[in-house]
Amino acid sequence: MAKSKFEYVRQFEQDDRCLPNCWLVVRVDGKAFHRFSDAHNFEKPNDKRALDLMSRCAERVMDEFKDICLSYGQSDEYSFVFRKDSLVYNRRASKLMTSVSSLFTSAYVFHWPEYFPDSMRYPPSFDGRVVLYPSDKNLVDYLSWRQADCHINNLYNTVFWSLVQSGGLSPKQAEERLRGTLSSDKNEILFQEFGINYNNLSPLYRKGTVIVREPVPDETAPAEGGKKSGKQKCTKLTSMNVDIIQKDFWNKYPFLLDDVS
């Protein structure tokens, strides 16, 4: 059987290597998660189990891809930041986004029983994309954009579900009530009508989750010429629910943006 006469079809594959020296962000997004969360009775406005599962999957991905220095997640999305100088898969966009999306999804189904008592009813999926950011500022602005999105959606959802669950409004009525309101209006409704101080809610819901890869001080360095390779540095993952828009965060983890290019 002549294999060779068909092999020309490989020429139709196109090179999609990403520009060097740019931050490489892969974001995965749940597909039709409105329906999925309904089918699995996620708690509204936030289901802690679902958010924890998301972060569990993100850690799996970061365990596999050591060039990811930071990830940020909220709702049904997670963003993974590969270092500017990463050469993983030769920076091929297809490989990067499909591998990350696939592994994230796989972990989601795999770890589901650790977070939810009931069986999963059907397999969910996450799409993915890869975006390049040339400068530190662009990257920080990207992450700020996602965290601002988290805030805006969570504030809306918190008021909306308060109106529905405690206020006796129908979803339609709640929607109308909130149309055109500002952030301050929503905070006021929460406080006046439901006695909720938004800022006291869990930062998991308000800020999302950032996972940082930190170098581990090498305490266990072998005393007498052990084999410890200098190449593979020890790192650990630290998960937090903090503000990443302000400079404080970046000042606290200066190695993240340690841009020497």
E strand intervals along 14-116: 23-30, 68-74, 77-82
What's the closest the beta carbon of residue 112 comes to a second copy, in angstroms? 9
Site string for a second copy, 11-50 (x = CB under 8 A): xxxxx-x-xxxx-----x--x-------------------
Count of C-beta atoms within a 10 Å radius of residue 31: 13
E strand intervals along 83-191: 126-133
Side-chain-side CA neighbours of 81 within 13 Å: the count stands at: 26
Q: Residue 29 annotated as binding? A: yes
Q: Please, which residue, 144 or 241, has the CB nearer to a second copy?
A: 144
200-239: contacts with a second copy (CB under 8 A): none
What's the closest the beta carbon of residue 94 comes to a second copy, in angstroms? 5
100-139: contacts with a second copy (CB under 8 A): 101-111, 120, 122-135, 137-138
Q: Residue 32 annotated as binding? A: yes
Q: Please, which residue, 229 or 261, has the CB nearer to a second copy?
A: 261
Contact yes or no for 237/212 (Cβ under 8 A): yes
Count of C-beta atoms within a 10 Å radius of residue 176: 11
Q: Please, which residue, 136 or 214, has the CB nearer to a second copy?
A: 136
What's the closest the beta carbon of residue 243 comes to a second copy, in angstroms? 10
CA dist., res. 210 & res. 238, Å (int): 8
Binding a second copy by CB under 8 A: which of 39, 145, 238, 247?
145
Number of residues near a second copy (by CB under 8 A):
67
CA dist., res. 194 & res. 218, Å (int): 50
What's the closest the beta carbon of residue 226 comes to a second copy, in angstroms? 26
Q: Is residue 261 a contact point for a second copy (CB under 8 A)?
A: yes
CA dist., res. 188 & res. 159, Å (int): 10
Contacts of residue 53, defined as CB under 8 A and 6 or more positions apart, other chains included, come to: 108, 111, 112, 114, 115, 116
The closest alpha carbon to 243, from 161, 146, 110, 127, belongs to: 146
106, two tokens: 């796989």
Q: Residue 80 annotated as binding? A: no
What's the closest the beta carbon of residue 251 comes to a second copy, in angstroms? 19
Contacts of residue 6, defined as CB under 8 A and 6 or more positions apart, other chains included, come to: none
* DSSP at 255: G
What's the closest the beta carbon of residue 52 comes to a second copy, in angstroms? 16
Q: Residue 31 annotated as binding? A: yes
- Which positions lie near a second copy, rule CB under 8 A? 1-3, 5-15, 17, 19-22, 28, 31, 60, 93-95, 97-99, 101-111, 120, 122-135, 137-138, 141-142, 144-145, 148-149, 151-152, 183, 245, 261
Residues at the annotated binding site for Mg(2+)?
29-30, 76
Residues at the annotated binding site?
29-34, 75-76
